[in-house]
A and B are shown apart, each in its own frame.
Chain A
Amino acid sequence: MADSVKQNTLLSWLVDPLQSTRETAERAYRFTGDRRSWLVPFLLGAALLVISALGGWQRPDDFFFAYLVGWTFLLTTALGGLLFLIFHHLTRASWSIVVHRINEGLIWAFPLLLLLGVPLLFGMHDLYHWTHADLYDPSSSHYDEILAGKRAYLNIPFWGARLVLYFAAWTIVSYRLYTLSVRQDVDPDPDIPAKLRSTSAWGLPLTGVTLAFASYDILMSTDPHWFSTIFGVYFFSGGILSAVSVIALVALLLQKTGGLLRGVITKEHYQDLGKYMFGFTVFWAYIAFSQYMLYWYGGIPEETVWFQHRLQNGWQWHSAALVLFHFVVPFLVLLPRAPKRTSVVLSVMAVWLIGMHWFDLHWVTIPVLRESGGFHWLDFTCWLGLTGIFAGALMYRLRRHSLIPQNHPYLGESLHFENT
């Protein structure tokens, strides 16, 4: 690390590992909001979490499932952002430089998320059926031969060790991508772009593999009898869609309030972000449909049961809503050119898709808990509470550094970018 950027103290390392470098930022790229920009979402989030914790006192299983959905929502979004950034470094994309810093703010999320994940440990018994000891006792009436066969993989020490390993891998990759880029702002070292690319090169397979196994451990194992090989891709497709929407939304917010980045992030960049939102909407639908269609078609009992739970007793409305609102509506709205270039429509769609990603995870997870569909108020407070804290941390990081990687060699190209 260069002398010009100092490490932060241990506590704030969770939120931002680096000392502020905002003094060096060009005026045009400097965040002008005050501390309310991060304090308000943070406090709102904390308040909602306190309320959720009180509710969780009464209904622990509802609380833990709602918390898991909210936490996974943030985790997939951060992972989607990490992969989105990696793709752009590897392909040397130049259009996206002006939105990189928002994405970099998004990816420094894993230490905080690990901390926010700690409450889930108290709910392991509620969340994960395979943690019940009597399943593995042949003399017990609950003995489950299939789960006993999976015990070598599904057991608490190994599960915990795996999660720590995943978070370590994601933290290392995102630390390098984040700090190298911030360091470039104050110290234009000509080697940095190459370092970012090489980190992305080994970071891509590492992140991809850990993400897939994390999806099996965190979500698929809530229904431990069920399995699907495409599940990792499914987890990824929703996350990257959500991440692109977050990037677009934050950029639009920054411009709307205070006029930051006006003329820096232009309609041309929004059109590209809109294209990615459209593309990953279709990709998500392709993956989701493939998984559904193949299990519906095969009709093998141990596999179809997962969809059976989600197609009856009230959950059929959630499934239909997912098809309509996660695919058909965004597909039709984002298809023409004009909506992608209109900030109002694009911001509505970004919020919409972020909400749909949460709804998708809700649909994946909650049927394990509740036989019939519907929502509990804890589902919303946990999600919004966690998101508030997360958004506060994101805005806090954005305040502390230039909003644009201002010494990036392709910045000029990105500023003049036009769709052709």
Chain B
Amino acid sequence: MVSRHTEKKAPLAWYIAFAASLSGALLLLALLAYVVWNGIGVWGNNQPVGWGWPIVNFVFWVGIGHAGTLISAILFLFRQHWRTAINRAAEAMTLFAVVCALIWPTFHVGRVWVIYWTLPIPNQMEMWPQFKSPLLWDVFAVSSYFIVSLVFWYVGLVPDLATLRDRAENFWRKRILGFFSLGWTGANRHWRNYEKAYLLLAGLATPLVLSVHSVVSFDFAVSVLPGWHTTIFPPYFVAGAIFSGFAMVVTLMVITREVYGLKNVITIDHLEKMNIIILVTGTIVGFAYITEFFMAWYSGVEYEQYAFINRAFGPYAWAYWIMMTCNLITPQLFWSKKLRRSIPVMFVLSIFVNIGMWFERFVITITSLHRDFLPSSWGYFEPTWVDIGTLVGSFGLFFTLFLLFLRFVPMVAMAEVKGIMPQADPHHYDGGDGRAAGNGHAEGDGEPYIRPAKVASLEQPDTDEGEA
């Protein structure tokens, strides 16, 4: 079922979507060339607001990427089996979102051709980057994040590529897949090493994912600007990243399972669980908003207090209230079981969440910059068509890459889903452990698929398991 979509001809919808995304990606390339040629003055940035949409988009895209690693690494460490159906697509989403994110720090600089100066390379000038700058930490954080995510994703892909290889009928297809599956035979020894490597990568990716967005938050929090200089930023940005990332996964999965007929693999239960995570992280983000507001008042610092009054009632109040509505109120609808299991509701809400999270970054960046300590340097930021075009173009690039992934790579981790099928349980056929027992047949033959739990007090505890 999963392999088939890479083998058969892509549906017409795919070609239409691909054409649309590709034109977006081309728009992005053209505009980036335009920016480099003419200078970054074609963006709407001005003197108080030196960081405009490029940074907003950067943080937005990095945030989107975080859900993928959360699903593949953190949920793996917590032994959440439901992750298997969505992890491949979510990791791919991470990679493409990080690609889209990396565009912005690269191109928002005035002289893109000397960006290699940010790398600590010995050179004839004996000059080194300043290791105290969080922008430099970003370089390390995001590049190592991309590399680790890529390795993690690829390691997960190897057994599945081998499956595709074995199914391939075309000569070249067999050769190419044979090359990328690295001679995987699925031997016991392979699996043992594979699972150890996967666990280690998950263990390494987890602190990485938390630190990456924390480092991104440091870009703001280490400054002395009221509205930026807040200690809650590291965990709050991470929560926001998971929030927006999961919303993006829900948006994409709702469409993908519909178009590719994967409703038996990506079930409504999966979507519901993701919606619960959206609810939890959305509530954390909402609480962080309240904390910031409270602390601004409590601090007794007039600049801090003004920064927040300005957010709520200043010239950008509209952006603030869009953010509050989309992030604080809409996820709360997921308290209702009916709403969080409804496909149309979750689709609309997940898009709202991402609009809200884009505005969160906009509010943090721009409202804090446009009015700060000296009233003589207050300004107003208005985006130009180039700002808008590059943002639209980055979505084009993202969907181009995502559609290519859907076309050529198994979008569900087959080897992992097989591992959690009831039949993979060694006790499956002997009805050993009370819960996961069936009779080896599919649903509907009289035996309950999952037997209701026994009253466990009847069971004697094992005494031979040794004391610790």
Q: Which of A153, A294, A406, A416 contacts B218 (CB 8 A)?
A: A294
Q: Are A255 and B224 in contact (CB under 8 A)?
A: no
- In A204-239, the 8 Å CB interface with B consists of 204-205, 208-209, 212, 216, 225, 227-233
Segment touching A, from B173-181, B230-238, B243-251: B230-238
Query: How far is B459's CA from A263's CA once the two chains are assembled, in angstroms?
Result: 13
CB distance from B149 to the nearest CB of A (A): 20
> Does A141 sit within 8 A of B, measured CB to CB?
no
User: Bound complex: CA of A229 vs CA of B217, how far in Å?
Assistant: 14
Whether the pair B229, A263 counts as a contact (CB closer than 8 A) is no
Q: Contact check, B224 vs A298: say whether CB atoms are below 8 A apart.
A: yes
Chain B min CB distance to A193 (Å): 9
Query: Is B231 within 8 A of A208, CB to CB?
Result: no
- Inside 8 A of B283's CB, which chain A residues have their CB? 205
Interface string of A257-269 (1 = CB under 8 A from B): 0010011111101
Residue on A nearest B238 in the bound complex, by CB? A286
Q: Cβ of A302 and Cβ of B461 under 8 Å apart?
A: no
Is the Cβ of A255 less than 8 Å from the Cβ of B455? no
Q: Which chain A residues lie closer than 8 Å to B116 at the CB level?
A: none
| Nearest CB of B to A217, in Å | 11
Chain B: interface residue count, which band?
A: 35 or more
A12 interface residue, CB < 8 Å from B? no
Whole-angstrom distance from the CB of A206 to the nearest CB of chain B? 11
With contacts A150-B300, A290-B214 taken as known, whether A91 is within 8 angstroms of B78 at the C-beta atoms is: yes
Number of A-B contacts (CB under 8 A): 134
Minimum Cβ distance to chain A for residue B281 (Å) = 12
A341, closest chain B residue (CB): B468
Size of interface on A: residues with Cβ below 8 Å to B:
61
Selected interface stretch from B60-68, B91-99, B261-269, B287-295: B287-295
Report how far A302 CA is from B453 CA in the complex, Å. 59
A352 on the interface (CB 8 Å rule)? no
Q: A146-B300, A229-B295, A267-B466 are in contact. Are A412 and B460 (CB under 8 A)?
A: no
Chain B nearest CB, measured from A189 CB (Å): 12
Task: Write out the residue numbers on chain B whose beta carbons fall within 8 Å of the beta carbon of A147.
Answer: 300
Q: Is the interface of A mostly helix, strand, loop or mixed?
A: helix
Is residue B16 within 8 Å, beta carbon to beta carbon, of the partner chain? no
Contact A229-B300, Cβ < 8 Å, known A262-B463, A412-B435: no
Q: Does A175 contact B (CB under 8 A)?
A: no
Does chain B have a CB within 8 A of A374?
no
CA distance in complex: A204, B461 (Å): 32
Q: Are A408 and B464 in contact (CB under 8 A)?
A: no
Chain B contacts for A188, CB-based, 8 A: 455
* A140 on the B face (CB < 8 A): no
B79 in contact (CB, < 8 A): yes
Which residues of chain B come closer than 8 Å to A411, judged between CB atoms? Answer: 456-457, 459
Q: Contact between B455 and A28 (Cβ–Cβ < 8 Å)?
A: no
Taking the complex as formed, is A120 at the interface, i.e. its CB lies under 8 A from any CB of chain B? no
B144 at the interface (CB under 8 A from A): no
Report the separation of the CA atoms of residues A227 and B296 in the bound assembly, to the nearest whole angstrom.
9
* Partner of A286 from B214, B433, B461 at Cβ < 8 Å: B214
Asked whether, in the complex, the Cβ of A298 is within 8 Å of the Cβ of B298, the reply is no
Judging by beta carbons under 8 Å apart, are B462 and A263 in contact?
Answer: yes
Query: Residue-by-residue, is A105-127 near B (CB-CB < 8 Å gives 1, otherwise 0)?
Result: 00000000000000000000000
Q: Is the CB of B224 within 8 A of A300?
A: yes
- Contact A233–B232 (Cβ < 8 Å): yes
Using Cβ atoms and an 8 Å threshold, which residues of chain B touch A420?
A: 79
A263 near B464: Cβ-Cβ < 8 Å: yes
Interface assignment of B85: CB less than 8 Å from any CB of chain A: no
Cα distance A233–B211 in the bound complex, in angstroms: 16
Taking beta carbons and an 8 Å cutoff, which residues of B are in contact with A? 78-80, 207, 210-211, 214, 218, 221-224, 229-235, 280, 283-284, 287-288, 291-292, 295, 298-301, 335, 433-435, 453-457, 459-468
What are 22 of the A-B contact pairs (CB < 8 Å)? A153-B298, A205-B287, A209-B287, A227-B295, A227-B299, A230-B231, A230-B234, A231-B231, A263-B463, A263-B467, A264-B461, A266-B467, A266-B468, A286-B234, A286-B235, A287-B234, A298-B223, A298-B229, A302-B299, A341-B468, A408-B456, A411-B457
Enumerate the 9 nearest inter-chain pairs by beta-carbon distance, A residue then B residue, closest first: A229-B232, A411-B456, A409-B453, A230-B231, A267-B468, A146-B300, A297-B222, A290-B234, A263-B463
Q: Which residues of A contact B (CB under 8 A)?
A: 26, 28, 91, 146-147, 149-150, 153, 188, 201, 204-205, 208-209, 212, 216, 225, 227-233, 252, 255, 259, 262-267, 269-270, 282, 286-287, 290-291, 293-295, 297-300, 302, 341, 343, 406-413, 415-416, 420
Q: A302-B299, A413-B434 are in contact. List 5 more A-B contacts (CB 8 A).
A: A229-B295, A232-B291, A255-B468, A259-B467, A343-B467
